[in-house]
Amino acid sequence: MTKEQFIQGISNGDIKTLSKAITLAESSIASKQELALQIIEHFGPQKNTFRIGITGSPGVGKSTFIEAVGSRMAGNKKEKIAVLSIDPSSAISQGSILGDKTRMNQLSSLENVYIRPSASGNQLGGIAKNTRMAMLLCEAAGYTTIIIESVGVGQSETEISKLTDLFVLLLNPGGGDELQGIKRGIMEMADIVVVNKHDGDQKRLAEITAKEYSLALHLKLKNKNSWTPKVLVSSSLYLTGIDSFLEKCSDFNNHIHDQWKKVVRKEQMKYWTKKNIEYLLMSKIDGYEEQINQDIDSGILPERSARNILE
């Protein structure tokens, strides 16, 4: 397909064209990535979009929660929702199941919803290398709400906050105590904390966990956006707490005015500029393999070898 065909298809809301454009963005071939960049540059930045990042530990129920939330949001036919789901890749084979979409059968059947699973590759931080480009392409295609689901992450993996307006952290019942809640890392980045699986035998435990985290979060400084983090409970299985969550999302979106969003997204763009410089430098490392082997055989320290190569 030509650049003009991609632009025409995306302008018309054609899902197949959008998917092919995202495949270009995810490609390791420079010419294909260049074409994806040209397509994005044609459309320019989309202002009236809302980006939601959802993360949590493996098994916390992210996909089921997103299906419950997305299905409720999609009830408003004026909304177009894109879900970018990041699936972990094998450190051995580099393969990925890309199975998150199978957990969203109901959501994926809706006309105003687009779901795109992607592999994380060797990227750390919970997202894929070119998730940002995929997000921009979805916005160009007219999707007003972008939900990004990270891989299962731990305390220090917060890169998804560099992509989104609203950062949501899902927790399991019994997922920590008050001390856990005031630790630095992912907790201090969250705008909304949701204790999921508030049902069955875990209902009482979920309420205790939410209370402990709520008390802990009152001890930390407000986020840069002057928003006080909210702690909720939910059950994706019984669809309880979903309306409360959407209400808080709406409150947050109203709280952050357009000027704040513009400033923060500019800061995020600076971060991704530096990140892409890192990617490009890392891609050149293989060219120094011979020099590295020579330095090691000569007994040169790795730290000294690296400095000599860069100089």
Quote the pLDDT of residue 91.
Answer: 46
Average pLDDT over residues 60-70: 90
| % of the chain at pLDDT higher than 70 | 86
pTM score:
0.85
Average pLDDT over residues 23-43: 92
Q: Which homologous superfamily does the CATH classification assign to the domain defined by 45-259?
A: P-loop containing nucleotide triphosphate hydrolases (3.40.50.300)
Quote the pLDDT of residue 47.
Answer: 81
Alpha helices by DSSP H, the chain: 3-11, 15-26, 30-43, 62-73, 105-108, 131-140, 178-181, 186-189, 203-217, 242-255, 258-282, 289-297, 302-310
Quote the pLDDT of residue 181.
Answer: 44
Quote the pLDDT of residue 9.
Answer: 96
Q: Looking at the predicted structure, is the pLDDT value of residue 233 above 90?
A: yes
The three-point CA angle 20-148-33 to 5° equals: 35
Whether the Cβ atoms of residue 61 and residue 170 lie closer than 8 Å to each other: yes
| Residue 87: its H or E element | strand 81-87
Rounded-to-integer distance, Cα 48 and Cα 163, Å: 15
Quote the pLDDT of residue 267.
Answer: 92
Average pLDDT over residues 245-256: 92
Quote the pLDDT of residue 249.
Answer: 94
What type of residue is 144?
T
Q: How confident is the model at residue 179 (pLDDT cuts 50, 70, 90)?
A: very low
Residue 59 main-chain phi, psi, to 5 deg: 85, 5
Quote the pLDDT of residue 186.
Answer: 74
Rounded-to-integer distance, Cα 184 and Cα 301, Å: 34
- Predicted confidence (pLDDT) per residue in 257-290, tens digit: 777 888 889 999 999 999 888 888 887 887 888 8
Q: Picking from 53-57, 135-139, 179-183, 194-198, which range would have the lowest pLDDT averaged per residue?
A: 179-183
Rounded-to-integer distance, Cα 235 and Cα 61, Å: 10
Domain boundaries, the chain: 45-259, 260-311
- Which residue would you say has higher pLDDT here, 82 or 123? 82
- Predicted confidence (pLDDT) per residue in 126-156, tens digit: 577 789 999 999 999 999 999 999 876 665 5
The 3-state DSSP class for residue 307 equals helix
Rounded-to-integer distance, Cα 68 and Cα 163, Å: 22
